[in-house]
Amino acid sequence: MPSKKRKKRGGERRVIHPRNKYSENPPDFGLLASLYPSFEPYVFYSLDGRPRIDWTDFNATRELTRVLLLHDYGLNWWIPDGQLCPTVPNRSNYIHWIEDLLASDLIPCTRGNSVVKGFDIGTGANCIYPLLGASLLGWTFVGSDVTDVAIEWANRNVKSNPHLSELIEIRRVDTETKIFDAEELQNKQKDNINSYVDSTNTVSVDMGPSPSFSLRSQSVKNSYHGPPVLVGVVKDGESFDFCMCNPPFFVTMEEAGLNPKTSCGGTPEEMVCLGGEEAFITRIIEDSAQLKHAFRWYTSMVGRKSNLNILTSKLWNVGVTVVKTTEFVQGQTSRWGLAWSFMPPSKKMLFSHVTEKKNLSFMLEVY
Ligand SMILES: C[S@@+](CC[C@H](N)C(=O)[O-])C[C@H]1O[C@@H](n2cnc3c(N)ncnc32)[C@H](O)[C@@H]1O
């Protein structure tokens, strides 16, 4: 699939997913202000005559998200003050990347023609991924979370869209459950399978035995000690086409607040966890090594490129069959998508994929 490329000031290339609604037409704040009186007070005109909003004003970014979801996706949506406010073009891009992964047949579909079933780890009060995936593509979702406010508002957002309510289940994670110990997991890890890695920039094939399982090398201090993530939340016998996650990226709220140019809200429960995203995604990896074929694709957003490399190494060590990465560019910020599977890759697709691998990678310029 062709990627759309744009020239940014300074010559840097920016790419938005070609199926993203905003690929050809970025949101028109002037038009939205004329159509939605509640948005109008947040729009002002700069000297060059272009309509703008104050990105440091949480109320402005929340109202923009509300009107975009209504105008472009027919969704009714709201979140309480201070909860993490999603940027719609960026979140849509992750959905389209997963759509490409599922369509690529790199990992053949084993669930027949049944409707696509996704699992959103940490769906948040905003419930953005299930709402976008269900409304755009008719996917079904389980959206999990741990906080009362997230569960309450995710449910409200689903109920506000009755046409989607059959498609989305909000699942509360049992925060009392004993945390699964990584050493136990190590004992359970028996498979030594041949692995392939196909990432944005490199493709390598390892036909030898998998390296020993060594997630324990992460210091205990920095390991995840929170509530269950997938193991203990996914029910016996359940299977999914994919999971996705926008994890708590940060170790502290100070780190989370480092971008003074935008105000997207975000409470400590949403933004922070002990060990940050590396620990949280490591837990997803550990859980995936147990659940294996319960998911066709496991995916997560990654906030730091250095963590992408660390996590990719961890994936090798648990015997995944495929790793794919991509980059999402949002304004001045980059995020990465990381995807892996334990299912056997289609060999035909594997080799044809080598030449086409960049087609699953794109960057997003937000708004
Ligand atoms: C960065 S927010 C993402 C919210 C939303 N998905 C989005 O993209 O805007 C991370 C979410 O993960 C939730 N969370 C933290 N630990 C969790 C766990 N063990 N299981 C499920 N959700 C968790 C937090 O409560 C928070 O809502």
The pLDDT, as a whole number, for residue 118 is: 98
Q: How far apart are CA 63 and CA 78, in angstroms?
A: 9
Nearest CA to ligand 1 atom 25: 270
Query: Of 72-76, 220-224, 336-340, 356-360, which range is least confident?
Result: 356-360
The pLDDT, as a whole number, for residue 261 is: 59
- DSSP state for residue 42 in the 8-state scheme: G
- DSSP state for residue 217 in the 8-state scheme: G
276: amino acid identity, one letter: G
The answer to whether 241 is a known ligand-binding residue is no
- Give the 3-state secondary structure of residue 141: strand
Indicate the pLDDT class of residue 284, thresholds 50, 70 and 90: very high
**Minimum-distance ligand 1 atom for the alpha carbon of 144:** 21
Mean pLDDT of 232-257: 88
Question: CATH number, domain at 259?
Answer: 3.40.50.150
Domain that holds residue 91: 87-360
The pLDDT, as a whole number, for residue 329 is: 81
Pocket test for ligand 1, best of 131, 243, 270, 302 (most atoms within 8 A of CB): 270
Name the residue with tokens 């780190």: 255
DSSP notation for 282-320 = HHHHHHHHHHGGGEEEEEEEES-HHHHHHHHHHHHHTT-
**Minimum-distance ligand 1 atom for the alpha carbon of 270:** 26
The pLDDT, as a whole number, for residue 220 is: 56
Q: Is residue 295 part of a domain?
A: yes
Ligand 1 centroid–CA 248 distance in Å is 6
Nearest CA to ligand 1 atom 2: 270
Binding-site residues, ligand 1, Cβ < 6 A: 84, 86, 121-124, 126, 128-129, 144-147, 150, 173, 226-227, 229, 246, 248, 269-270
- How much is the pTM? 0.84
The per-residue pLDDT of the chain, averaged, comes to 81
Q: Is the pLDDT of residue 189 over 80?
A: no
Ligand 1 centroid–CA 245 distance in Å is 8
| Measured CA distances, 107 to 73, 103, 290, 295 (Å) | 30, 9, 19, 11
Nearest CA to ligand 1 atom 18: 229
Which long-range contacts (C-beta less than 8 Å, at least 24 apart) are formed by 189-196?
189/213, 189/289, 189/318, 189/319, 191/319, 192/319, 193/319, 193/321, 194/321, 195/316, 195/319, 195/320, 195/321, 196/321, 196/322, 196/345, 196/350
The pLDDT, as a whole number, for residue 333 is: 79
Mean pLDDT of 217-229: 75
Q: Is residue 351 part of a domain?
A: yes
Domains held by the chain: number:
1
**Minimum-distance ligand 1 atom for the alpha carbon of 227:** 19
The answer to whether 112 is a known ligand-binding residue is no
**Minimum-distance ligand 1 atom for the alpha carbon of 85:** 9
The answer to whether 319 is a known ligand-binding residue is no
**Minimum-distance ligand 1 atom for the alpha carbon of 301:** 8
- Give the 3-state secondary structure of residue 119: strand
| Percent helix, strand and coil across the chain, each to the nearest 5 | 35, 20, 45
Mean pLDDT of 156-166: 98
Q: Is residue 16 part of a domain?
A: no
- Residue 215: in which H helix or E strand, if any? none
Strand 322-330 versus strand 295-302 pairing type = unpaired
Q: Is the pLDDT of residue 9 over 50?
A: no
Q: What is the pLDDT of residues 317-367, one digit of tens each?
A: 999 999 999 998 877 778 999 999 999 998 655 444 443 444 344 433 333
Q: Is residue 97 part of a domain?
A: yes
Pocket test for ligand 1, best of 83, 121, 157, 282 (most atoms within 8 A of CB): 121
The pLDDT, as a whole number, for residue 259 is: 59
The answer to whether 91 is a known ligand-binding residue is yes
Q: How far apart are CA 283 and CA 222, in angstroms?
A: 11
Nearest CA to ligand 1 atom 12: 122
Q: Is residue 6 part of a domain?
A: no
